[in-house]
Amino acid sequence: MDTTDTTDATGILDEALERLHHAGPERLGRLSNHAPMAVEALAAHGQAPAVHRWLDRYARKLEDFPSRVEPVTAANWRAALGDPGRAADWIDHFGRELAEHPWREVLAQWWPRLLPGLYGGSTHPVIRVGHAVRTLLAGAPGAATGPRLAELAHGLGYWAARHRPVTVPVLRPTAVGAAAALDAVPPIAERDGGFPARLDRVTALPVWAAGVAEPGEARDRLAELVRAATHRYATHGHGEETMLVHAATAPNAVLRALPALPPALWPASLRAAWTASAAVTAMYAPAAPVPYVPPGAVTAEEVFERALSHGDEHVIKLADTALNVGDERALAAALRAVELTEPLG
């Protein structure tokens, strides 16, 4: 239930993106810069006046734009794929591509190249791309502004630099529904280490989306997955309040990109999104759920305002996805994130 894009919101978001493009996609060598995703979510849900105030609070987490090594070209891009030290080179490359070609063309060309590596950077690169695509698909005239195209370049460049394929042997067929499929995901045994180390221990996942070939069905199944993963957070988010957000926000980013992609790419997008959501579930799910607590008499707008007041970037992004889902259990999930997560200082 995104708000209608207005000239004021467009200008504020573009100013914020320009401000952020002087910063790199990560900090401390491994943690993602969430600010571009969060400010886009704020603007999309009617909170554009709060964008710069929120960004002032987040600014201490930003680092300078990284150094360049050598240009990425049509001849050498494969060698640079998955090299985080080449993030600046990749961002420059996509900046040039988007200056010379329509953005949908660039996205369609690179999506199948990048999709197998969706799991790098804890799925943050594809999430950033999903937010960028939403701004470019906005209904307002002139949505494809310079800062928004630059944001797509930053997102795609980050994805290329953190590109990390996975090969997960399947475990067994599972129930038709996404919720039951997530319930069937076997947890990994060893829970030490960060996202990359845990991802290496995901050796089996249920089959759920493998047989889908029709684009419309792929889109519908992806929406079902986003809804199920968002709902699940309400009762399972305590397993790891931050990382389990990505079980919902990563597939939602893919879902947001579908309208800008050729339908032939939708089934593969569903399969990659399922693997990401299921892998995060395997890596961080708790031993047991807690009882579901209804959100009470609260509106979607009030839930998002609570997320903004809390300030944590993951809380804002889950609230954004919860409002996209739009039902009671999704709102409960967003409020659960507010409850579980440390507020932004």
CB 61 within 8 A of CB 26: no
CA distance 70 to 184: 45
CB 309 within 8 A of CB 53: no
Banded pLDDT at 6 (limits 50, 70, 90): very low
Residues 81 and 189 occupy one common structural domain:
no
- Show which of 116, 136, 161 is a domain's final residue: 161
CA distance 93 to 127: 20
Q: What is the pLDDT of residue 1?
A: 39
What is the pTM assigned to this prediction?
A: 0.96
Question: Which residue range is the domain that position 174 belongs to?
Answer: 166-345
Residues 248 and 127 occupy one common structural domain:
no
CB 322 within 8 A of CB 333: yes
How many domains does the chain contain in total? 2
Let me know if residue 2 belongs to a domain. no
Residue 344: which residues within 8 A CB-CB, separation 6 or more? 57, 58, 310, 311, 312, 313
CA distance 154 to 33: 11
Pairing of strands 205-207, 170-173: parallel
Average pLDDT over residues 253-276: 98
Residues 172 and 149 occupy one common structural domain:
no
The two tokens of residue 108 are: 């369609």
The residue among 105, 99, 117 whose CA lies nearest residue 262 is 105
Average pLDDT over residues 158-182: 90
Indicate if the pLDDT at residue 133 is higher than 80.
yes
Q: What is the pLDDT of residue 108?
A: 98
Residues 77 and 126 occupy one common structural domain:
yes
Residues 140 and 185 occupy one common structural domain:
no
Q: What is the pLDDT of residue 340?
A: 98
Helix, coil or strand: residue 314: helix
Banded pLDDT at 3 (limits 50, 70, 90): very low
Residues 336 and 187 occupy one common structural domain:
yes
Pairing of strands 26-27, 31-32: antiparallel
Q: What is the pLDDT of residue 4?
A: 37
CB atoms within 10 A of CB 181: 24
- Show which of 108, 126, 161 is a domain's final residue: 161
DSSP per-residue letters across 154-216: HHHHHHHHT-B-----EEEE--SSHHHHHHTPPPPS---S-HHHHHTT---EEESSTT--SHH
Residue 6 dihedral angles phi and psi, to the nearest 5°: -115, 165
Query: What's the mean per-residue pLDDT of the chain?
Result: 95
Of 31-45, 165-179, 225-239, 265-279, the range with the lowest mean pLDDT is 165-179
Let me know if residue 1 belongs to a domain. no
CA distance 102 to 13: 21
The residue among 125, 91, 56, 115 whose CA lies nearest residue 264 is 115
Average pLDDT over residues 259-282: 98
Label each residue of 144-162 as H, E or C: CCHHHHHHHHHHHHHHHHC
What burial class does residue 28 get, using C-beta atoms within 10 Å of its C-beta: 0-12 exposed, 13-18 middle, 19+ buried?
Answer: exposed
Residues 264 and 235 occupy one common structural domain:
yes
Residues 115 and 264 occupy one common structural domain:
no
Residues 145 and 190 occupy one common structural domain:
no
What's the DSSP call for residue 260? G
Banded pLDDT at 142 (limits 50, 70, 90): confident
Average pLDDT over residues 306-320: 98
Residues 141 and 188 occupy one common structural domain:
no
Q: What is the pLDDT of residue 2?
A: 42
Q: How far is CA 191 from CA 201, 262, 285, 324, in A?
A: 9, 38, 10, 31
The residue among 325, 321, 58 whose CA lies nearest residue 337 is 321
CB atoms within 10 A of CB 191: 13
Q: What is the pLDDT of residue 233?
A: 98
Indicate if the pLDDT at residue 8 is higher than 80.
no
Positive or negative torsion for Cα 83, 87, 89, 93: positive
- Show which of 113, 131, 161 is a domain's final residue: 161
